[in-house]
Structure 1
Amino acid sequence: MQSYPKSLPYIIANEAAERFSFYGMRSILATFLVIQFFNPTLQAALQPVAEAKANEATHFFVSLAYAVPFIGALAADWFFGKHKVILWVSILCCIGHLILSIFETDLDWFRFGLLLIAIGAGGIKSCVSANLGDQFTAKNQHLLSKVYGWFYFSINSGSALSTLMIPLVYTNWGPNWAFGIPGILMAISTTIFYLGRHTYVRIPPTGMKRDNFLFISIYALFNFYKKQPKQSLLDVAKEKFQPEKVEDIKGAWRVIGVFSFIPIFWAMWDQNLSEWVLQAAKMDRYFFGYELLPQQIQTVNPFFLLLLIPVFNYLVYPFFEKRGIKTTPLRRIGCGLVLMALCFTVIALIQTTIDGGGRPSIWWQVFAYFILAAAEVMVSITCLEYAYTQAPASMKSTMGAVWLLTVAAGNVFTALVNRSIAQGGFFASLHGATYYWFFIALLLCIIFVFFLVSPRIAEV
């Protein structure tokens, strides 16, 4: 009987500590930016612009953290290997957290610290799950699904614990400790990873290969004039690259076609860690007799997520399958987008009550988090499965990186909307509930197009 790799405790403990540090500092980021830099005197007239600036900074930070994995994956696979990249960017993360803790009153230095953390977290994200898979051989491959379950549990337990703890630290001991403790956890994470260095299976880098997604796609783009009638644009690349590789790229672009509908999902999802937190500050936050801090409400999201994953896998999907309704990936994604629209409708109605001078119960936002978790199960997890099953064998890692780019793209859009609001630009009229109704309307338009296009997308 094959045993688990000896490196697993180091990898899983490292991930739990790293996710604690990332989500811990992020849980207080938006509220801290408002109070510390953008509206320290808490003037009501300045609050909408201050919140928009804080949301802009938060979403740009997230977008960078999810764009870097594409570069990190290439650096690890082509040049340095996963182990070196994880170790180096972990140290970079530690420095970033240290800067946040020391320079909490200097906006320029604080932004530089965020930059280092985003680069570090993104670099880790690009390698850590693949590094976990590298530890297994054909003899113990059957244990991999269980290990990934524990790996996912470590991510959510780290985020849940940090979103409960760090807001309390921030309230009682201030930003130095609130940003310092995640830094300490990041240092512990890096130390754990380093201590396991002799147990890791290391896949050496392969060097830069020119028959990859980027080179073939760029070649086809610049040689479009060679395209023959009834020929795909990418087929022109077959004159220089192996035809099988070109066919792989064509399959990858079909997956990207589906992914093109997903950035709006993340543009809205990531608002639960910024816009929703600021909204919670204006609500009645008594929860089972205890008054929660605005930043602590986020804790229900990983709880609902862990609860709903088995519910969908063992109850919801089989229920429809037994009645002859196939729950294909594209149908799940479409339903998940609809749930996101419903979730934001709840948030918009909450904001309407707040705009009218009311103070609604935090239970309404908890209800929105429940719908949000259901949407995440149907969109995020399904898209990861879709990327793996629909992408050709040689493109699965690339599609994982492209999937993370959808998160980055969505956050860039939300950041730009908030920048426009802060600067009195095109979206300046989006304040209060109108802000949320705008995203709902945009999502409904995208859902309409998705329902028109998805029946024409072939699944293999």
Structure 2
Amino acid sequence: MTKNTLPATDAATTARYPKSIPYIIGNEAAERFSFYGMRSILATFLVAQFFNPTADPALQGVAVAKANETTHFFVSLAYTMPFIGAIMADWFFGKYKVILYVSMLYCVGHLLLAVYDHDLEGFRMGLLLIAIGAGCIKSCVSANVGDQFDKTNQSLMSKVYGWFYFSINAGSVFATILIPEINARYGSAWAFGIPGVLMALATLIFFMGRKMYVKNPPSGINKNNFVFISLYALFNIGKKKKGEHFLDVAKGAFTPERVEGIKAVYRVMAVFAFIPIYWAMWDQNLSEWVIQAQSLDRHIFGYELLTEQVQTFNPVFLLTFIPVFTYFVYPFFDRIGLKATPLRRIGAGLILTALSFVIIALIQTRIDAGEHPSVWWQILAYMILSAGEVLVSITGLEYAYTQAPKSMKSTMTAIWLLTVAMGNVFVALVNSSIADGGFFSKYQGASYYWLFIGIISVFIMIYLFVAPRLKERSYVLEPEDDNKIIADTNNL
């Protein structure tokens, strides 16, 4: 037992939450308000302001496709930039500096949206800066949560990631309720300006906690990193012996323990290969589903929801489901002997996501027939989608952190976030094809949603075959050896 190791019983009784956690969670709640507040009205704003300002029915289909294309390309950039932010943090500056300084650029992007709400080029520049800002800090923020823990309170990490995700959706709830109302009453300049104020507040909250953070220093560029080891192995793959992993050829030129760590990353990437289709579908609830809501009967409890407010049900359900799953559902399955492992959670989440889209496709079939279905049907789809999100997205955040060696925590999280970008690129290309009259132009109305249901069904079938054959290794943060493996278990 090392000097940093406590007996299990002592660790359980002495575990304490890090003092920095409230600042991290407060920062995340305000930042997510700014992001989701802006995004809550983005798709409908683009249609009404730039792509079909005269509300010409003949132009609506193309206008909607262009708005969806713009929205999904914006999201794809926002989730590609985390890889750049992770490299900046892990190699050069550390997470704290990247989060603080890039947040300032983020604020400028919000300012441009408010100022150029009648100028498409200026507006796109604002979207570009927001994508860079939100993206570069994203992998650093979630990885920064894990950095605050050591072996004495490691048992609390899963719960904190749950509350971290809770803060994301708390910010989203208030944003998706308030910003559409502000847009309807006071105009787009205010609706885009207020999220900018919240982003400034997020930056201030993060700065206030500066003396309490555990700040892991950047590792610098050294030959024992993921990129260099992978490239060396690929260029020397001919030297691989029968039965060896292709990375084993790098053990002579690089630290063997680090090569073993890279193997863990590739095992995680085998799981992540199934995630882009999930995000391709999930992100449509903030664009395609919002536009669909324009054709619904949105009266509930005597109040008519604004089109953009329907999406609020996603974070509302998440705020409900996170503690339910964390404290009741997962422990229940553990008690009956069906352990809720990460791979099982992800598989169940993919299935629920497909089911939510079946409901959306059936709703769209009625809309195509000239009906106005009740918004309650879409709310049901949001409920199922949110349950799937708890199973896939929260699990993925924790999985990305715990399965990576210490020196690549931000990078592994960025790879997870790249799955979001890949999914959104695919949706953007589909909508671009529709707008240009290309191959996917035949998939409009309900057939558009059935297309995605068919695609995710294929992925689910492959996942059910592959997942039982995957293994999982968790890494514990230890100052003297960041590659010490503490667990190696079959997941299914």
Specify which of 356, 366, 386 is matched with residue 369 of structure 2.
Answer: 356
3-state secondary structure, aligned to 1:202: coil
1:21 and 2:41 matched: no
Moved more, 13-22 or 3-12: 3-12
CA distance in 2, matches of 1:382, 1:10: 23
Moved more, 296-305 or 125-134: 125-134
Q: What's the CA shift for 1:451?
A: 1.6
CA distance in 2, matches of 1:140, 1:250: 27
CA contact (8 A) 2:43 2:287 kept: yes
Specify which of 354, 363, 371 is matched with residue 341 of structure 1.
Answer: 354
Q: What's the CA shift for 1:390?
A: 4.3
Name the residue aligned to 2:132: 119
Per the normalisation by structure 2, the TM-score is 0.88
The code of the aligned residue for 1:371 comes to I
CA distance in 1, matches of 2:157, 2:267: 28
CA contact (8 A) 2:354 2:457 kept: yes
**Relative to 1, partners in 2 of residues 1:40 and 1:114: Cα closer, same or farther, differing over 3 Å?**
same
**Relative to 1, partners in 2 of residues 1:311 and 1:13: Cα closer, same or farther, differing over 3 Å?**
closer
Name the residue aligned to 1:219: 232
CA contact (8 A) 1:341 1:443 kept: yes
1:208 and 2:221 matched: yes
CA distance in 2, matches of 1:348, 1:62: 23
Aligned CA RMSD, in angstroms, stands at 2.2
In structure 2, runs of 5+ residues without a counterpart are: 1-13, 473-488
The number of residues matched between the two structures is: 460
CA distance in 2, matches of 1:107, 1:420: 21
**1:172-206 superposed Cα distances (whole Å, 9 cap, x missing partner):** 11111110111111122223333444454433322
CA distance in 2, matches of 1:285, 1:421: 28
1:433 and 2:446 matched: yes
Specify which of 239, 244, 247 is matched with residue 252 of structure 2.
Answer: 239
Specify which of 102, 106, 126 is matched with residue 115 of structure 2.
Answer: 102
CA contact (8 A) 1:265 1:410 kept: yes
**Relative to 1, partners in 2 of residues 1:248 and 1:141: Cα closer, same or farther, differing over 3 Å?**
closer
Moved more, 148-157 or 373-382: 148-157
Moved more, 443-452 or 150-159: 150-159
Name the residue aligned to 2:470: 457
Any residues of structure 2 matched to 1:42-57 within 5 Å, and which? 42-57=55-70
The code of the aligned residue for 1:61 comes to F
Moved more, 122-131 or 288-297: 122-131
Q: What's the CA shift for 1:3?
A: 7.5
The code of the aligned residue for 1:283 comes to L
Specify which of 87, 95, 99 is matched with residue 82 of structure 1.
Answer: 95
Name the residue aligned to 2:205: 192
Specify which of 274, 282, 294 is matched with residue 261 of structure 1.
Answer: 274
Q: What's the CA shift for 1:251?
A: 1.8
Specify which of 104, 120, 125 is matched with residue 91 of structure 1.
Answer: 104
3-state secondary structure, aligned to 1:230: coil
CA distance in 2, matches of 1:132, 1:334: 25
Name the residue aligned to 1:370: 383
Name the residue aligned to 1:69: 82
CA distance in 1, matches of 2:256, 2:25: 40
CA distance in 1, matches of 2:170, 2:205: 17
Counting aligned pairs with the same residue, the percent is 67
CA contact (8 A) 2:140 2:410 kept: no
CA contact (8 A) 1:335 1:378 kept: yes
CA contact (8 A) 1:248 1:394 kept: no
Specify which of 291, 297, 305 is matched with residue 278 of structure 1.
Answer: 291
Q: What's the CA shift for 1:366?
A: 0.4
Q: What's the CA shift for 1:342?
A: 0.8
3-state secondary structure, aligned to 2:471: coil
**Relative to 1, partners in 2 of residues 1:272 and 1:196: Cα closer, same or farther, differing over 3 Å?**
same
CA distance in 1, matches of 2:215, 2:391: 34
CA contact (8 A) 1:248 1:395 kept: no
In structure 1, runs of 5+ residues without a counterpart are: none
Q: What's the CA shift for 1:143?
A: 6.1
CA distance in 1, matches of 2:464, 2:260: 27
Moved more, 173-182 or 237-246: 237-246
3-state secondary structure, aligned to 2:439: coil
Name the residue aligned to 2:8: none
CA distance in 1, matches of 2:232, 2:98: 29
Any residues of structure 2 matched to 1:387-398 within 5 Å, and which? 387-392=400-405, 395-398=408-411
CA distance in 2, matches of 1:139, 1:378: 27
CA distance in 1, matches of 2:406, 2:203: 32
CA distance in 1, matches of 2:220, 2:403: 26
Q: What's the CA shift for 1:262?
A: 0.8
Name the residue aligned to 2:486: none
CA distance in 2, matches of 1:308, 1:205: 36
The code of the aligned residue for 1:293 comes to L
**1:182-237 superposed Cα distances (whole Å, 9 cap, x missing partner):** 11111222233334444544333221122111111122122223333333222222
Moved more, 314-323 or 328-337: 314-323
CA distance in 1, matches of 2:431, 2:110: 25
Moved more, 446-455 or 363-372: 446-455
CA distance in 1, matches of 2:213, 2:266: 34
CA distance in 2, matches of 1:141, 1:450: 30
CA contact (8 A) 2:74 2:131 kept: yes
3-state secondary structure, aligned to 1:52: helix
**1:70-115 superposed Cα distances (whole Å, 9 cap, x missing partner):** 2111101211122221121111111101111111111111111101
The code of the aligned residue for 1:266 comes to W
Moved more, 225-234 or 397-406: 225-234
The code of the aligned residue for 1:166 comes to I
Moved more, 264-273 or 318-327: 318-327
